[in-house]
Amino acid sequence: MSEVMFDARAYCKIMLHSAKYPHLAVNGLLLAENGKPKTIVDAVPLFHQCLHVSPMAEVALVQVEAKASQKGRQIVGYYVGCENFYDNHFERAPGIRIAEKIAELNSDACIAVIDNRAVSINMRYPALRIWQHRDNRWSKAKCVVENERVTFDVVSCLLQRGAAKELHDYDNYLDNTQHDWDNVHLNGDLKQILAIESVSSSSRNESNTAEDDCDSLGAKRYTLRRKAYKREVKKKIFRIAGQDIPDHSGECDDDQNISSTQEKSTVTLTAENSKGNGARNIHQSMLQSR
């Protein structure tokens, strides 16, 4: 199964577009660097009203393609979020004709369908299902998110704070041309937020590593204390047995000495008990003879 990598910014914008219109279907375009169609570096949100091929969709495709080419990028895919909560297959996705048109121009085109059930304020796995165009048909592919732990934390934080309203799609641009469909302002904010979160995540990882080192050091100290305690117990056993304390470095030798000492102590005690019993029997027989 092939993989499609999503840049953190592209993934965040797709999730924000879906969260801004949870009661409607949404769609957009996926951009990649020239020659790298399997790495999605940006997403352009298009519509939340009429998602099918229309004159406005064609105008949007022309504008997005022109602006992308200036940055050395190309349109390589199409993303869509269905209005029905349980629809997460591209066969039922609206505007599939747009994806087919992209596939005519790019042999490695892909479709990303938003999995509505996975979009949450505590995201832990990718909320996208991917299909890639191969051999004139759409085949299932795997979605990989760059630095997914940091990206999921940022998306969750943005959704909790209602940042979706800051994103503008092409429909918003048609309603008010001051709304930039390229979302330059949002791109800058996402870049800063992702950088800050990445540094924070690195700091947390370093602190966790230090805690693990402390835990391992504590475990070693505990092990040494246990060994010292065992040695003291062995010494007491030898003292009780009335034998000299041997100096062994290996734990196995010490264990064998303990077991042998315990056996000798048991034999000695048994012999002493038997001697005591014999003396008592002789004394009783002498009393009876009198």
8, 19, 220 from 16: Cα distances, Å: 12, 5, 49
Specify the range with the lowest mean pLDDT, choosing from 76-80, 207-211, 265-269: 265-269
Rounded CA separation 225/169 (Å): 66
Contact partners, residue 2, CB within 8 Å, separation at least 6: 38, 132, 134, 139, 141, 142
Which of these CATH numbers, 3.30.300.20, 3.30.70.580, 3.40.140.10, 3.10.129.10, describes 3-199? 3.40.140.10
138, pLDDT greater than 60: yes
The percentage of residues in the chain with a pLDDT greater than 70, rounded to a whole number, is 71
Q: Please determine, for residue 260, whether its predicted confidence score (pLDDT) is greater than 60.
A: no
Q: Which amino acid is at 51?
A: L
Q: What angle do CA 231, 233, 239 make, to 5 degrees?
A: 105
Tens digits of residue pLDDT in 185-203: 999 988 888 888 888 776 6
pLDDT at 259 over 60: no
pTM: 0.69
Exposed, middle or buried by CB within 10 Å (0-12, 13-18, 19+), for 250?
exposed
Q: What is the rounded CA–CA span in Å between residue 30 and residue 28?
A: 7
Which residue ranges make up each domain of the chain? 3-199
Residues 79, 195: Cα–Cα separation, whole Å: 25
What letter would DSSP give residue 136? T
94 with 48: CB under 8 angstroms? Answer: no
Q: What pLDDT shows up at residue 269?
A: 47
Place of tokens 């796995």: 125
The span from the CA of 261 to the CA of 244, in Å, is 11
Angle formed by the axes of helices 148-160 and 184-241, to 10°? 120
CA dihedral sign of residues 91, 95, 99, 104? positive
Unique residue bearing structure tokens 């479709």:
111
Is the pLDDT assigned to residue 160 strictly greater than 70?
yes
Residue 50 makes CB contacts below 8 A (sequence gap 6+) with 56
**DSSP single-letter state for residue 90:** G
Q: What is the pLDDT of residue 10?
A: 95
Does 118 have pLDDT greater than 60?
yes
Given a contact cutoff of 8 angstroms between Cβ atoms, the answer to whether 40 and 71 are in contact is no
Mean pLDDT within 10-27: 94
